[in-house]
Amino acid sequence: MEPFYLAIIIFLFILAIFDLSVGVSNDAVNFLNSSIGAKAASFKTILIIAAAGIMVGASLSNGMMDIARHGIFQPQHFYFEEILCILLSVMIVDVVLLDIFNSLGMPTSTTVSLVFELLGGTFALALIKIIGSNGMFSLGELINTDKALAVILGIFTSVAIAFFFGSLVQYIARIIFSFNYKRNMRYFIGLFGGIAITSIIYFMLIKGLKDSSFMTPDNKEFIYNHTSQIVWGSLVFFTILMQVFYWMQINVFKIVILFGTFALALAFAGNDLVNFIGVPLAGYSSYLDLISHPNATPQTLLMTSLQSSAQTPWYFLVGSGIVMVLALLFSKKAHNVVKTELNLSRQAEGEESFGTSPIARIIVRSSNSIASSVISIVPPSIRKWIDTRFNRNEIILEDNAAYDLVRASVNVVLAGLLIALGTSLKLPLSTTYVTFMVAMGSSLADRAWGRESAVYRVTGVLSVIGGWFVTAGIAFFAGAIASVTIYFGGAFAIVILICLAIFILIKSQIMYKKKLAKNERNPIIDRLMNPQNSHEALCLLREYSKAELKVILEFAAISYTKTINAFMSEDYRGLRKSMNHLEDEKRYIKQVKRIGTLAISRLDPNVALEKGLYYFQGNDFASEIIYSIIRICDPCLEHTDNNFNPLKPEQKKEFCEISNDIKIFLEDCNRIITENTYNDMSNIIARSNVIINQLASLKKDELKRIQGHSNNIKIGMVYLTIIQEAQNVMSYAANLLKVSKKFQTEN
């Protein structure tokens, strides 16, 4: 049996490589978001600095993988075979779970996923052992619940502390520097830079390097006994150095941000490495223990050896660092996760990634009321002075940056400092939670969440926080199910789970690529948000309108045809799928209108008054086309779901002939708008009137059938609705054509 278990250990390490890749893709947001958001350097430079931090942190890590060895389960009560069931289930679930979160672009905690997967797997096998031992064991003897409770506590602690201090410190920093920070740098930049660099060094010593291989007990004792001297000495030295850099015309904020990025990446690799390779290393150590006992069997050898801590060989650490660096440099999903946080914290208004939710609206409304009450007691002169510090017209941003260098500096320094303080105070603060919530708190304090964007941003933050708790729940139950499956199913179950994991990963990748293709940003949008002049803005808006109307009309023609065909054939699944796609398209049109509105604000006032009106009319007509198809699909879906009588053959025949003409008409409208050639528009409009009259004739015929009791009332109502909404589709499409001509051509 030894070759079989050796194959499992090898597979654990293969899974670890994938886990390192998907884990770094998710945790990249922890150390990349501030430097990328503020454009502190080129993207390539930022990645190189972060990669260097990861490589140094991984190489210097001491590899103490205690959480996977005895952090959750009590190994002295579990046999080798049972331990292997837990470890294998954890790795399979972890790879799949983190990949799903990466595809969704949602940052989550790799520590939480690992702990709750271990907890779920251990809990399931512990119950089996308790039942099989006739009460010999108790749950407390088999599971170390303190770690899980500490992680849960860490979620609440991290969220509350990081958000509060992120808001407070950023507010103070903005009062000191204002948005025009260059005007006030000469007075405060030396002290600010000194405090920032000192905080980062303290963070690196306490959190990033406290368990590194060169940190001998003597070194730790020296740092512990001389912490105050190190901190004060660093503060004085770096304050003077940063002031000298300022006199040399070197941007101190960029130095702070890039140094902080390196430190956060180093700490991530040095401490979170256990989340990716701790489990396979525990399995490897268990296997070595098994083969060192020739007379023992996997079913009888207790894993008492896992109670001790183990040093990880350097080649495992270096190899892990290389995999993490490669994942950081080449993973598109890492950039996707970073994008989520930047969209929630950017200074400017623009396209929002999240919708709205009732709880977000309540929070925003309540916060506005509280803020109004607080502001009312502040003297007007002080309010006026504070407003001058938050004058967004003076903001200094790097090229297309999400926010300025001051906020990015606060993010990296405060995140590192809070993590270091939490570590020194034995508080289980999560790196992911702290960095994310500091960024959210600082964006709130910087007034980035305005009246027009607050409800979207709050919804986004609540979605991410909810995802953290979902991570814990899914990890627990998936780990438990996988462990039980492997325990009872043996080799066959392992093969099935591996195939299932591969299938999910492949499907996730396919769906992610489809999502990227669907959400691929129109290249005109970036130029549209920053035009050179009003004339260029109008030209770009015309191009944007043509491109978006092309997408909408193509979708309308396809969706209308699929809806009608599905109803004719009583295809419930087809109607359900059409309805889901129509709801997505409805949200997409709102997004298009929002971008167009922002673009119109870049136009000359006189041009905006005329062309803006035509743009909004066209967008409304396009929306109504989709809404009309929804009003066709909804009663058809309900009718088919209730299994009511279908259309009669003569109804199908008469409507299908006109339905095909409607599809062709929508395609012709799309062609005219896309090609911007309106010479044949009068003939197209005439065709629409003919089709509308034909539909009116169908409506009269159906009313006669109902009057003569020759048709079922339920199907008659649905059929009349289809005819009426088909008329609306034709009417709105014709009006869209007319308005598009006025918008796209000069008077």
631: domain CATH number is 1.20.58.220
* Residue 602 DSSP label: T
Q: Are residues 533 and 429 in the same domain?
A: no
Structure tokens at 435: 């960095």
Helix axes of 713-744 and 681-707: crossing angle, nearest 10 degrees: 170
Taking the chain (747 residues) in consecutive chunks of 10 residues, what is each chunk's mean pLDDT?
A: 76 80 71 81 84 79 61 80 87 84 74 83 87 75 74 74 88 85 79 85 67 64 77 88 87 87 78 73 82 81 77 75 80 68 72 74 81 81 82 76 84 81 63 83 83 80 82 88 88 85 79 64 61 71 82 90 90 90 84 76 68 82 91 90 84 84 89 84 86 88 76 81 91 89 75
Q: Are residues 514 and 646 in the same domain?
A: no
**d(C-alpha 607, C-alpha 613), whole Å:** 10
User: Three-class SS of residue 295?
Assistant: coil
Longest Cα–Cα distance in the chain: 100
Nearest to 205 by CA among 221, 223, 191: 223
Helix axes of 405-424 and 185-203: crossing angle, nearest 10 degrees: 30
Let me know the angle formed at the C-alpha of 309 by 115 and 53, rounded to the nearest 5 degrees.
70
Say what the pLDDT of residue 259 is.
86
Say what the pLDDT of residue 63 is.
46
Structure tokens at 199: 């905080």
**d(C-alpha 569, C-alpha 660), whole Å:** 16
Torsion sign across C-alpha atoms 471, 477, 481, 486? positive
Q: How far is CA 591 from CA 225, 354, 551, in A?
A: 58, 11, 13
Q: Are residues 164 and 256 in the same domain?
A: yes
Torsion sign across C-alpha atoms 112, 113, 117, 123? positive
Q: Are residues 476 and 586 in the same domain?
A: no
Beta bridge partners of 212: 61
* Phi (first) and psi of residue 61, to 5 degrees: -65, 145
**d(C-alpha 68, C-alpha 80), whole Å:** 14
Q: Are residues 487 and 532 in the same domain?
A: no
Q: Are residues 63 and 157 in the same domain?
A: yes
Q: Are residues 393 and 446 in the same domain?
A: yes
Name the residue range of residue 556's domain: 525-744
* Phi (first) and psi of residue 143, to 5 degrees: -125, 135
**d(C-alpha 184, C-alpha 177), whole Å:** 6
Nearest to 431 by CA among 417, 410, 442, 444: 417
First-residue to last-residue Cα distance in the chain: 84
Task: Count how many domains the chain has.
Answer: 2
Q: Are residues 684 and 730 in the same domain?
A: yes
At which of 518, 536, 554 does a domain end?
518
Cβ atoms of residues 397 and 404 within 8 Å: yes
Structure tokens at 533: 């002049």
Structure tokens at 632: 């066709």
Structure tokens at 46: 């930022």
Q: Are residues 205 and 96 in the same domain?
A: yes
Say what the pLDDT of residue 189 is.
84
Q: Are residues 503 and 561 in the same domain?
A: no
Structure tokens at 248: 């040399």
User: Three-class SS of residue 61?
Assistant: strand
Say what the pLDDT of residue 628 is.
92
Structure tokens at 680: 């044949």
Q: Are residues 501 and 559 in the same domain?
A: no
In DSSP notation, 365-385 reads HHHHHHHHHHHHTS-HHHHHH
284-313 in b/e burial notation, b at 16+ Cβ within 10 A?
Answer: bbbbebbeeeeeeebeebbbebbeeebebe
Q: Where do runs of H (alpha helix) occur along 404-453?
A: 405-424, 431-445
Helix axes of 431-445 and 110-132: crossing angle, nearest 10 degrees: 140
**d(C-alpha 122, C-alpha 125), whole Å:** 5
Q: Are residues 506 and 546 in the same domain?
A: no
At which of 518, 540, 570 does a domain end?
518
Q: How far is CA 704 from CA 29, 546, 658, 700, 713, in A?
A: 65, 43, 19, 6, 12
Separation of CA 591 from chain center = 18
Cβ atoms of residues 433 and 217 within 8 Å: no
Spell out the residues 6+ positions from residue 619 whose beta carbon is closer than 8 angstroms to its own. 589, 592, 593, 596
CA dihedral of residues 30, 440, 357, 627 (deg, nearest 10): -80
At which of 518, 544, 560 does a domain end?
518
Nearest to 181 by CA among 260, 235, 256: 256
